[in-house]
Amino acid sequence: MTKGNNIVHQYFRKDFEEFKVLVKVNPIQFKGTEITIFPDRQMQMRDIDFDEQIFDELKEDGFVECNPLEFNLHLSGLV
């Protein structure tokens, strides 16, 4: 088993008036995925490289920790 398989990702969300954003962060490699979800269930996804300040930046921007299940349900198109 490789080291990368043991990473526990952290998940965040923020609700805006017109959409919501879910973020998955790999706290070791500072890589992640952002999903933007619109009211019509359209979804945009992008992979992101973060820096070590990502957790402070997310908190400052009003993101809160969320359940990994919510992120993964949207990612798989089940919501």
pLDDT in tens, 14-59: 999 999 999 999 999 999 999 999 999 899 999 999 999 999 999 9
Q: What is the CATH number of the domain that holds 59?
A: 2.20.140
Q: How far apart are CA 52 and CA 57, in angstroms?
A: 10
| Domain extent at residue 65 | 3-75
For residue 1, the model assigns a pLDDT of 43
For residue 6, the model assigns a pLDDT of 83
Q: Is 23 exposed, middle or buried (0-12, 13-18, 19+ CB in 10 A)?
A: buried
64, 12 contact by CB (below 8 A): yes
Cα distance between the two ends of the chain: 32
Total structural domains in the chain? 1
State the pLDDT confidence band at 77, using cuts at 50, 70 and 90: confident
Q: How far apart are CA 19 and CA 41, in angstroms?
A: 9
Res. 12: pLDDT tops 70 = yes
